[in-house]
Each structure stands twice: as structure tokens, then as C-alpha cells.
Amino acid sequence: MNDSLDIEALRASVADILAKECDREAVVRHVAAGCGPMQPLWATAAAMGWLALPIPPELGGLGLGLDALVPLYEELGRVAAPLPVLNTLLTVDAIARMAPHQTSAPWLERIAAGAMATLSAPLPVAAAGLSVTWEGDHLRLTGTASNLLDARDADFILVMASDGQGRCWRVMIEKGDAPVLTTDRLWDHGHTLSVLRADGLRLPASRAFASQPEAEEAVLTHAALGLAAEAVGGAQGILALTVDHLKTRVQFGRPIGAFQALKHRVADHHTRIVAARALLDAATRMAVRTDERAGSEASCAKAFACAAYVDIARDCLQLHGGMGFTAEQVCHIYLKRACLNAQLHGDETRHLTRAMAHLLVGEAI
């Protein structure tokens, strides 16, 4: 989609639906009641075609690129939506880039129709805790895959496994395979975290496809942009409600937003968001045109935006005074999401290192 008007229309329609189905009260209720994805909203997301955005048209999707996905992620972040959209679409990306067409087509069709997916982060091969062996037209998986976000509720789990000969494979595990999962609650009740244990789990050989470093890098770039977009949206979301609070909360006979000490803090936060957005927009454009520095720029955006989100959410909770400490108020959800996102798909150190790797070998910027 090259027409910027269409993308803005998409953004507006996403924002409109989220305002109705994922307002502050709904999110607060959801995380108070349990943890994991918000189910009725997931069905809406599928029905509205959000999951089909990047899926090729011949498989029931719209075939759109990151310039369309980034606004979606940003809007989801703005309301701290408890939905695994990013990991589902990262799985789509990994499948589309690496799996043979005949294998990937049914997976993509099911995701377009609303199946939920998650994946082992596109991290270095050494991180694979699973090993894969082949037996004729089947494979066997042994070992553990940790840090699987929302795997408890997922229909597809795309793990990483090594074959003992230095090669890395992606293996798709489906819900029907009855994988053994141990699931932890997270402080952020919008998501869960699982460890998958396999002891010779037998699957059709067609579930495996070779992991390709360049494709994994591209998925990591997608992850970085997605989390940066969620961070920009989330920081804007919590700052907007904090600015409203400063305008309406009266103490000492005036709105507390008239106090310069508070004003200056939110001015700094807003400036930081403007900077994060500039970085995100530029990095997205670079990824869309597959610029050779797209990975570096996306990691810049991830590191900068996620750190900004954490700092802004921390301070916004403080600016809400005692209200910010209550579970009925939404600030804590943003704070917990910000802290989670900062660790997802590589922390700040990892992304800073990736961002500036080219400088440390003496290249120009």
C-alpha cells in the first residue's frame, strides 16, 4: 500500500474499533480477571482483517508491508491492548520468508482467518534449546524452548531447533500436537510466558524448514519496528491521559498542570515521543525499501522508543499521585507493558549493539 491516505484510513479504523472494544475500563477489567489475550477482541481483530494485512492476497490476505503494520501496532500500543498481534504477524513473516509455499499456505490461511501464533525470538542460533532429528518422513524434537509469549493460547508455535550439525531449523508445532507447556503469569496480565518441553515429540517432517540468517534478521527488524511502534503508541496513550489529569486535578486552588515543575516533565516526555516517532517513521521507510541499514535503524528505534516508554510510563504513574497506585486506574498496565516490551525480542543493550555494529568496524554512518 503506497497510498498514505489508505494507511491513515486504516489507522483511523483500527483506532475506532479499539476505542469501542478496548477502552480503558475494558483493559482494566480484563487484567483484573485473569491473564493472556483478550478473547472477544481477538475475534474482532481477525474479523476486521488485521491479521490478514501482511498475508498474500491469494491466501486470503491483503499483501501489505510494514508501512501498514506499523500504524496497526502503534494503535494497539496506544490502548495497551492485551493481544498477541505482533507475535502472530512475526510468525507470518517468518513463515512467508522461509517456509516452502506448499507448507506455508495452509498456515497462513488459518492465521488470516484468526488462528493465533507465536514464535521463538529470531535470536542467534546458539540460543536454540531444542534439537531436531529425522526419521523418514517424520522428525523428532527434544529439549526446551523458553520465552514463548502467549504460547498457552496459541494455535501455532514456531520454535527454533538445531540439528547437531550446526544448522538451524524452524519447526511449527500446532495446538493438536499437545505440546507440554509450563506457563508463567507475567506482571503484565495482557500476556503470558511459556516454556515448551519436548521429549522426542514426533511431527511430520514437513513441519520443519531451514532457518535462514538473513530472513531471521528481517524478522528481527520487523520485531524491533513493531515494539518501537507499540512503545510510541503506548507512550502517547499514557501521556495523553496524564496531560488530561494535570489539566483537571485541582490542588492549592489551581490545576496542577500550572506548576512548572510538572509541566516541564511532560514537555520533555512529549519531545522524546516526537523524536521516537521520527526514528520509527524513518526506520519503517528504510525497511520498506530494504535499505542496507534498515536493521540498524530499526534497532535504534527499538532501543530508543522502548526506553522512552519505560521512563515516560514510570513518570506518568508518579504524576497521577495515589491514583496511579491503584489497580482500577490504567497507568500500571502501561508501565508493566512498557517494561515487558523493553525485554521482548532483545533488550536495549542487544539492540544498541546491533544498531551500531557497522560503526565499530569503521564504516561511516
Partner 1 sequence: MTGPLAHVDDIDRFRAAVRAWLPDAIPKDWRRRVQTGGEAAYLDTQREWYAALTSAGLATAHWPAAWGGCDLPLSHQIVLHEEMARADAPNTDLFTITLYHMPATLFAHGTEAQCRAYLEGARSAGVVWCQGFSEPGAGSDLASLRTRAERRGNSYVINGQKIWSSYGRWADYCLLLARTNPDAPRKHDGISYFIVDMKTPGVTVRPIPQITGEAEFCEVFFDDVMVPAENLIGAENAGWQIAQSTLTAERGLLIFENSERLKHSYARDAAAGRDSWLKDPVKAHTFASFFPRIRALNHLVAALLEELATNPHGGGELSTYIKLHWAVLLQDYTGFMSTVNGLSGQVETRPLRGAGATSGEHFYDFLWSYSWTVAGGTNEIMRNVIAERFLGLPR
Binding site for partner 1 (CB under 8 A): 243, 246-247, 254-255, 257-258, 260, 263-264, 266-268, 270-272, 274-276, 278-279, 281-282, 297, 300-301, 303-304, 348-349, 352-353, 355-356, 359-360, 362-365
Q: How far is CA 123 from the centre of its chain?
A: 15
Provide the minimum distance between the beta carbon of 355 and partner 1 in the complex, in angstroms, as a whole number. 6
With cell 518441553, the residue in question is: 197
**Nearest-CA neighbor of 245 among 65, 24, 13, 30?**
24
Return d(Cα 332, Cα 315) in angstroms, integer.
11
Nearer to partner 1, 21 or 67 (CB): 67
| C-beta of 37 vs 234, nearer to partner 1 | 234
How far is residue 110 from each of residues 38, 150, 214, measured CA to CA in Å? Answer: 19, 18, 26
Q: Which is nearer to partner 1, 97 or 263 (CB)?
A: 263
- Residue 64 or 239 having the CB closest to partner 1: 239
Nearer to partner 1, 81 or 306 (CB): 306
Q: Toward partner 1, which CB reaches closer, 117 or 303?
A: 303
Work out how close the CB of 304 gets to partner 1 at its nearest, in angstroms, rounded to a whole number: 4
Closest separation in Å from C-beta 81 to partner 1: 24
Q: Which is nearer to partner 1, 159 or 298 (CB)?
A: 298
Least distance to partner 1, CB of residue 316, Å: 13
Provide the minimum distance between the beta carbon of 234 and partner 1 in the complex, in angstroms, as a whole number.
17
We find the least distance from the C-beta atom of residue 293 to partner 1, in angstroms, to be 10
71, 118, 193, 313 from 336: Cα distances, Å:
22, 20, 14, 9
Q: Least separation, in Å, of the C-beta of 11 and partner 1?
A: 18
Rounded to a whole number of angstroms, the minimum distance from the CB of residue 246 to partner 1 is 6
Nearer to partner 1, 195 or 282 (CB): 282
Q: Is 7 exposed, middle or buried (0-12, 13-18, 19+ CB in 10 A)?
A: middle
CB nearer partner 1, residue 140 or residue 270: 270
CB of 187 to partner 1, least distance (A): 25
Q: 188 φ, ψ to 5°?
A: -85, 105
Cell digits of residue 91 = 510468525
User: Cβ 224 to partner 1, closest distance in Å?
Assistant: 11
35/231 with CB nearer partner 1: 231
